[in-house]
Amino acid sequence: MATTLAPSTSVRKVIGETELLWMMALLMALNAFGIDAILPALDELAVDLGVDGNARQFVIGVYLLTAGIGALLPGALADRFGRRPILLGSILVYILLSLLSAIAPTYDTLIAVRAAQGFFAAGTVALPPAIIRDRVGGDKMARMMSLIFVIFLMVPAVAPSIGEAILLVADWRAIFGFMAVMGVAVGAWVHLRLPESLAPDNRQPIHLRTIAVNMTRALALPSVVGYVFGSALVFGALFGFINSSQQLITETFGAGDIFPLVFGICAGSMAVASWSNSRIVERFGARRVSHAALFVFIAVSGAQVFFAFQPGESLWVFVPLMAINMALLGFIGSNFGAIAMNPFFNIAGAASSAHGFVRMTMAALLGGAIGYAFDGTAQPLALSLLASGLTCLVLVLVSEKGKLFGPSDAEAGMGSAPAE
């Protein structure tokens, strides 16, 4: 059934559910492309700009970190001025700073521009969940977010291959130019087709106290704390893989010539899992699905630790296990996010920003530390995956008061109405 958003002006009268899902996914994918497309070019970039060792990872890590910090702003602004103007502003900044990245003369300049880009373009990631929450809640939101993640995760799966293809005809700077082109295309689509989804009655005043209260409320509700902070931990381990993946696959396993394929297999597994989640979540419930996935994630991480400490671990032992764990994150991420967002219908923008801030900032810091700990083996990554999974389980147990595999959100009375 199509989801019809409130009419706005001229051509922005009706947008169907399918178009909405693709639009939200590609908005989020702008950031994913900005991270993953540059991975094959890290060696060339490092040589060109005189960067040594693990420091090359900062072009990825700083973007992730500032995107998390920047997530605090767009939600609160969007709760006051509406989703459209803040979203379009974020896209414009993404375009301009992509172009500046393409002409950065030094590595320090590139890092500064990337930091600004992550911060000011954070709305492209922070606002799509709020726009979806404006329409639906509960397990239906989890299903829609899963479908968004299916499309969104196609981009990390193919972005390194696109980056590699660009390198065949141009240098690493052209990858940033291509990011700007993508931003123009998606921005034009949003401008022409996306109506305002924030109801006038739900607009919040721009008062620091109001914003602080709303964000504190979004993070302090005991039933959602474990899901916000827990997902930050497991995605931090994932960011650790992204940060170190080029060195890990190229140096540790000696497979640099097939790096895009290996990365695509791992990222593609998340897309398959998200599609599967969209098919089952309304039947079994976000809690049951995500809790089961978390237990399997911990078990697979334990296997990764075992093999990482064996002499001569092969690429084709590492890749299937990493792909399975990334697939499990496809079941964990969208469901954890939907559970955490569900109680906050009236302050969806502030809640999305607060949750995005915690998830992205914690995950970026953790991922940066894991990536920088790269020692030529898969051991730091494997240990981090296991530790993050176990700690996440503890946090979820706290939020659920020790009871896992609960009923679906609909059965628990968590439909689309706000919880007070």
Q: Is the pLDDT of residue 12 over 60?
A: no
Give pLDDT, residue 268: 86
Query: What global pTM score does this model have?
Result: 0.75
Assess if residue 213 is contained within a domain. yes
Type of residue found at 227: Y
Q: Is the pLDDT of residue 27 over 50?
A: yes
CA distances from 368 to 71, 95, 247, 343, 406 (A): 18, 25, 14, 31, 34
Contact 179, 69 (CB under 8 A): no
Measured from the Cβ of residue 413, the count of other Cβ atoms closer than 10 Å reads 10
Assess if residue 240 is contained within a domain. yes
Nearest-angstrom CA–CA distance, 307 and 245: 17
- Region 28-55 average pLDDT: 89
Give pLDDT, residue 407: 65
Task: Tell me the residue ranges of DSSP E strands in 165-210.
Answer: none
Q: Domain of 33: which CATH number?
A: 1.20.1250.20
HEC secondary structure over 75-91: HHHHHHHCHHHHHHHHH
- Region 304-332 average pLDDT: 93
Assess if residue 410 is contained within a domain. no
* Span 171-216, pLDDT tens digits: 999 999 999 999 999 999 999 999 988 888 878 777 778 778 888 8
413: left (phi over 0), alpha (psi -120 to 50) or beta: left
Question: Among 183-187, 247-251, 340-344, which range has the highest average pLDDT?
Answer: 183-187
Give pLDDT, residue 222: 87
Those residues whose C-beta lies under 8 Å from the C-beta of residue 84, and which sit 6 or more positions away, are 8, 190, 194, 195, 196
Nearest-angstrom CA–CA distance, 237 and 235: 5
Q: Is the pLDDT of residue 383 over 90?
A: yes
- Indicate if the alpha-carbon torsion angle 126, 178, 101, 245 is positive or negative: positive
* Span 79-131, pLDDT tens digits: 888 999 999 999 999 999 999 999 999 999 999 999 999 999 888 988 888 88
Find the length of the chain: 420
CA distances from 34 to 60, 84, 160, 214 (A): 9, 22, 10, 30
**Placement of tokens 């390198």 in the chain:** 167
DSSP letters for 296-356: HHHHHHHHHHHHHTSTT--HHHHHHHHHHHHHHHHHHHHHHHHHHHTT-STTHHHHHHHHH
Q: Give me 138's structure tokens.
A: 């509960």
Q: Is the pLDDT of residue 8 over 60?
A: no
CA distances from 157 to 161, 270, 322, 361 (A): 8, 9, 14, 23
Give pLDDT, residue 408: 46
Assess if residue 182 is contained within a domain. yes
pLDDT averaged over every residue in the chain: 86
Type of residue found at 262: V
Those residues whose C-beta lies under 8 Å from the C-beta of residue 225, and which sit 6 or more positions away, are 219, 395, 398, 399
Q: Is the pLDDT of residue 345 over 90?
A: no
Number of domains in the chain: 1
Q: Is the pLDDT of residue 233 over 90?
A: yes
Nearest-angstrom CA–CA distance, 368 and 62: 8
Assess if residue 413 is contained within a domain. no
Q: Is the pLDDT of residue 417 over 70?
A: no
Quick one: which H or E segment has residue 106?
Answer: none
Type of residue found at 373: A
Those residues whose C-beta lies under 8 Å from the C-beta of residue 112, and which sit 6 or more positions away, are none
Task: Tell me the residue ranges of DSSP E strands in 57-178.
Answer: none
Assess if residue 8 is contained within a domain. no
Q: Is the pLDDT of residue 136 over 80?
A: no
Residue 395 lies in domain: 17-399
Q: Answer with the residue of higher pLDDT: 143 or 58.
A: 58
Assess if residue 2 is contained within a domain. no
Give pLDDT, residue 68: 84
Longest dimension (CA), the chain: 65
Assess if residue 44 is contained within a domain. yes
Quick one: which H or E segment has residue 418?
Answer: none
